[in-house]
Structure 1
């Protein structure tokens, strides 16, 4: 889980629009839980993750 949260932090730091800071410890726990168990799996299963991966590869080519 620590590796997952660190990778999530790294990924979010690369986003054009950063997330707003946590308003409280409970808010932080809930947002991390929701992203890990609901938002990210839905992102992967919908195919958007693969599309984003392909798009990022095209931008990296010289």
Structure 2
């Protein structure tokens, strides 16, 4: 389970959540990000993934 946050190039808050196992909770990660002011619309999510993480690549581009 991975959760993170950063500012985008425009200065808005973004978040990243990743769940790779069925026992991990995406909702818990979204709640944690919301508790620090990151809206769900600003969260990139990868689920049940292997080495390919499309949302992570998108998140990295927005925060570079």
User: When the two structures are superposed, what TM-score results if normalisation uses the length of structure 2?
Assistant: 0.29
Larger RCO: 1 or 2 (CA < 8 Å, sep 6+): 2
Please state which structure has a larger fraction of its residues in strand: 2
Please state which structure has a larger fraction of its residues in helix: 1
